[in-house]
Amino acid sequence: YFLFYLTDLTPLMETLVYLNLSVNNLLFFPIEVFSVKTLQDLVLWNNPIREIPNDIHRLKSLKKFTISFNFVSYLPSGLFLLGDLQNLDIVCNDVTFILNDIKNLRKLECLNIEGNQLSLPSAVLNLPLKFLRIEKNFIYPLLGNEKIQNQPQKLTHLAALCFPGKKKQMKDTQTLQKILE
């Protein structure tokens, strides 16, 4: 059976540390978790969730947050107010950029953003990361302006996307023109 919504968690609000709601049919982020003051690990893997509420900052004890394989396109600023967050996993969502506010996650050690379409802020370089996965992303420019949302800036960049196996041959405009002809 799949959960479509979460029931009241009030009886567990002072004791629950780990909550795994993976592989359900939760259409919305379960706001019931905000009442759990002790929650340290929240796993929402493989649900059709589209949005993380800004109120996520209310989960002050959260150390690990996994929301992989959903349809999230935006990470709210409230997420970057979680001062104890050590592990953030947003694999295979629709995220196109990360706010520079990520710099506030001073305890973040593990960032897994694989399988999105990201442009990363340079603030990522200042995090105490021990583990960073950015595979299968279209990062343009690498560690650049978070407002650029994966749009090729020049025709040569577009050509490089169309012919990824020929990257070594595309060192100048003349080579690109020959390939495009």
User: Angle 21-68-152 (CA atoms, 0-180°, nearest 5)?
Assistant: 155
**Is 151 a residue whose pLDDT tops 90?**
no
Closest CA to 110 of 83, 85, 130: 130
- Rounded Cα distance between 99 and 8, Å, is 32
pLDDT number for residue 118: 83
Domains of the chain: 10-146 (3.80.10.10), 151-181 (no CATH)
Is 48 within 8 Å of 22 (Cβ atoms)? Answer: no
Confidence band of 175 (pLDDT split at 50, 70, 90): low
The predicted-structure confidence for 26-56, as pLDDT tens digits, reads as follows 999 999 999 999 999 999 999 999 999 999 9
Look up the pTM and report it.
Answer: 0.75
Closest CA to 54 of 101, 116, 3, 117: 101
DSSP 65: E
Closest CA to 129 of 150, 112, 149, 108: 108
